Amino acid sequence: MSDPIDEFSFLADQAADAGIDGPLPRGERLTLTLPDGRTLSALRWTPADATDPGAADPDPSSPVVTFLHGAGLNAHTWDTTVLALGLPALAIDLPGHGDSSWRDDAAYIARVLAPDVAAGIAAWTDRPQVLVGQSLGGLTAAAVAASRPDLVRELVVVDITPGVDPSAGPTQIRRFFAGPTDWASRDELVDRALAFGLGGGTRAKAERGVFFNSRVRPDGRVEWKHHFAHLAAAAVAADATPDAVSAVLDESGWDDLTGTDAAITLIRGSRGYVTPDDATEFARRVPAASVVVIEAGHNIQEDAPQELGAGLRGLAGND
């Protein structure tokens, strides 16, 4: 069942909440059919003042920054960061999330997701990207950079390292998603998010997040869009450990980070999942990388979008 609300209708309120002035960018939903019949979905953002490309090559309105979200999120988590960035951008729904197809094998591991993401970047951009990934998206971005260096100019990993301690935060996310898989209304989901200290700190922000991350079924019940919630609930029902999130934190990520020629920046939240010890280990293993700390939690893109957007604009060479 389709939602009656335009998914871009929240943008003005998001800009006002963040104190971001100026004309809003144009957002559009993109869909790519993958070779096996699954679909990959994304949001493409074009600034209001983007120049008509005409005969220009490359197209000045084509994305220069591509965003990959974390487990249990979707492309809209980057909306306010995109507003602060002010550049053409692409935000991809990872497989199993948002409007992208779920995987039958439930293999939500960076190196498995990377080929799908690379296909989307190749189809929807015309130049190497500043590739930004948060949490699971950060590990996936590293896998893309290592396997498709032609697509990545700069790699930005947001609040994740391959060796992060799963007890530092993912446990809370597993508990949050290990509850019921369907609900009578979105208000029930908002209440649950706020009870877990999630949702951005205000009910209005939680309502936006729940809208983007859920769908109304034909029977009128509301369910999470992403596969992780269903996997976590199934694990609990089977009296097993819901390990869908921590399973992505394997050592292969280090090989991806050291196997790319792209410049690398780690941005960690002061209250995020990457501890000072994790950051020290990252610097030891990837000595050429830069490490930046932002006053924020794990979801830096929602806690400090203006600071993150300004930093990314500098990396994209537009400051």
Active site amino acids: 135, 159, 298
The kind and range of the H/E element at 247 are none
Question: What span, in angstroms and rounded, lies between the C-alpha atoms of 308 and 124?
Answer: 23
Residue showing tokens 């953002």: 45
Q: At 115, which amino acid appears?
A: P
Tokens of 243: 């390990």
- Residue 313: other Cβ atoms inside 10 A: 18
Backbone conformation region of residue 268, classed left if phi is above 0, alpha if psi is from -120 to 50, else beta:
beta
Strands of the 214-216 sheet, one edge to the other = 182-183, 222-224, 214-216
Nearest-5° Cα angle at 296, 11 to 164? 115
